[in-house]
């Protein structure tokens, strides 16, 4: 654990503002995480950062503060393939959370079924070298072939890897969700090379979705993240049925420029300007992926 000898990172805003934007009823924060608590859920020996505890109580308090109803909790890399913290948070949510797991590709069918029973609806394949030691494509495809019905795959990569990953993405036999739109350079604008390449990917399959998330990570201009709004709004408008939104709380690894979560919520009407789009982004789309049986 590279940061193990150092301080545990507090990566979230201590007092997020109340957003001006009021989310529609039933809104889902479709990308967030929990860390620990470490005493019950130790971090992985392979973790690349060592965060302070950010458990379900804090997450659900933030959900309520921001005017949201549900969470999709994505297993963070610091917990490796032990999904216990994520499952515990889901169990404490009274049905208001679902999750995305990170699994050892050798996971058994019985273990996958147990994850399903615990509220998991997808697995995440992470290609960021600063977060994981290896990303075995062949083994990822094998596990993707064995997922329970209704599950999808979440893939996290940076824009410079997109071309290389295309055959891999094409081989995934279930719907695919791309974290943070594959981290485009939003300063290139909506018609820049990164956004054009990402649209080509979306056009290659109708079941590739994306998270219109993380202005704080993608826009070097900082809050109010104007370049992000200008680059991402046209994408959400062009693919309204495949876009998801989330806070990314507790913002893993962010040691500076930690975003005010209220300001992140106020980005929503800037990328989804009308009520119809907002309902798709925040309610209809995540409900289709994560709460199918409730529809
Ligand atoms: C994110 C982004 C990051 C981290 C993780 O699992 C993780 O540790 O996802 C990142 O550092 O870019 O989506 O939370």
CA 152 to ligand 1 centroid distance, Å? 18
Strand ranges across the sheet with 243-244: 28-32, 70-74, 97-101, 120-126, 152-156, 176-178, 208-211, 243-244
| Ligand 1 within 6 A of CB of 253 | yes
DSSP state of 230: H
Q: What are the mean pLDDT values of the chain's consecutive 10-residue runs (295 residues total)?
A: 67 97 98 97 96 97 98 98 98 98 97 98 97 96 98 98 98 98 98 98 98 98 98 98 98 95 98 98 98 86
Q: Encoding tokens for residue 4?
A: 């193990």
Q: Is residue 19 part of a domain?
A: no
DSSP states of 245-265? ----TT-TT--SSPPPHHHHH
Closest CA to 252 of 73, 17, 111, 93: 73
| Phi, psi for 11 (deg, rounded to 5) | -105, 10
DSSP state of 259: P
Predicted pLDDT at 2: 45
| Phi, psi for 280 (deg, rounded to 5) | -65, -50
Q: How far is CA 161 from CA 106, 128, 225, in A?
A: 25, 10, 24
**b/e burial code for range 211-222 (CB count within 10 A of at least 16 → b):** bbbbbbbbbeee
CA 76 to ligand 1 centroid distance, Å? 6
Q: Encoding tokens for residue 165?
A: 């990953």
What are 49-72's pLDDT values in tens digits? Answer: 999 999 999 999 999 999 999 999
Beta bridge partners of 98: 72
DSSP 3-state assignment of 177? strand
The answer to whether the beta carbons of residues 268 and 282 sit under 8 Å apart is yes
Q: Is residue 230 part of a domain?
A: yes
| Phi, psi for 208 (deg, rounded to 5) | -100, 120
Closest CA to 271 of 29, 70, 13, 21: 21
- How many structural domains is the chain composed of? 1
Q: Is residue 8 part of a domain?
A: no
| Ligand 1 within 6 A of CB of 77 | yes
Q: Is residue 172 part of a domain?
A: yes
Residue 40's domain is classified under what CATH number?
Answer: 3.20.20.140
Predicted pLDDT at 6: 66
The answer to whether the beta carbons of residues 35 and 250 sit under 8 Å apart is yes
Q: How far is CA 85 from CA 93, 115, 141, 201, 288, in A?
A: 13, 12, 25, 33, 24
Predicted pLDDT at 293: 83
Domain that holds residue 277: 28-290
CA–centroid distance for 126 within its chain:
11
| Ligand 1 within 6 A of CB of 112 | no
Q: Work out whether the CA dihedral 170, 171, 177, 181 comes out positive or negative.
A: negative
| Ligand 1 within 6 A of CB of 252 | yes
| pTM beyond cutoff 0.95 | yes
DSSP 3-state assignment of 124? strand
Of the listed 248, 261, 266, 276, which one is catalytic? Answer: 248
| Ligand 1 within 6 A of CB of 216 | no
- With the most atoms of ligand 1 within 8 angstroms of its CB, the residue from 131, 212, 259 to mutate is 131
Minimum CA distance residue for ligand 1 atom 2: 252
Q: Is 248 a catalytic residue?
A: yes
- Give the integer Cα–Cα distance in Å for 242 and 212: 10
For the chain, the C-alpha Rg in angstroms (whole number) is: 18
Q: Is residue 42 part of a domain?
A: yes
Predicted pLDDT at 7: 86
Q: Encoding tokens for residue 16?
A: 């997020």
**Torsion, Cα of 55, 58, 62, 64 (10° steps):** 110
């Amino acid at each position: 654990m590279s940061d193990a000898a150092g301080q545990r990172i507090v990566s979230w805003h201590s007092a997020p503002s109340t957003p001006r934007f009021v989310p529609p009823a039933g809104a889902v924060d479709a990308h967030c995480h929990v860390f620990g608590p470490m005493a019950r859920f130790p971090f992985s020996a392979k973790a690349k950062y060592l965060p302070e505890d950010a458990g379900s109580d804090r997450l659900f308090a933030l959900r309520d503060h921001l005017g949201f109803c549900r969470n999709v909790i994505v297993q963070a890399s610091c917990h490796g393939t032990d999904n216990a913290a994520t499952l515990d948070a889901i169990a404490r949510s009274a049905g208001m959370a679902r999750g995305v797991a990170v699994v050892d590709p050798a996971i058994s069918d019985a273990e996958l079924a147990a994850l399903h029973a615990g509220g998991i609806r997808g697995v995440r394949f992470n290609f960021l070298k600063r977060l994981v030691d290896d990303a075995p494509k062949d083994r990822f495809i094998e596990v993707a072939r064995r997922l329970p019905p209704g599950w999808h795959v979440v893939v996290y990569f940076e824009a410079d890897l997109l071309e290389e990953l295309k055959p891999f993405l094409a081989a995934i036999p279930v719907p695919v969700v791309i974290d943070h739109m594959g981290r485009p350079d939003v300063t290139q604008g909506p018609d820049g090379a990164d956004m054009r390449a990402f649209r080509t990917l979306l056009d290659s399959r109708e079941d590739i979705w994306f998270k219109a998330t993380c202005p704080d990570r993608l826009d070097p201009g900082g809050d109010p993240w104007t370049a992000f709004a200008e680059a991402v709004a046209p994408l959400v408008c062009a693919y309204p049925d495949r876009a998801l939104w989330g806070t990314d709380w507790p913002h893993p690894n962010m040691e500076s420029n930690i975003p005010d979560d209220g300001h992140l919520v106020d980005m929503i009407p800037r990328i989804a300007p009308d009520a119809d789009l907002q309902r798709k982004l925040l309610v209809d789309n995540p409900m289709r992926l994560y709460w199918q049986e409730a529809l």
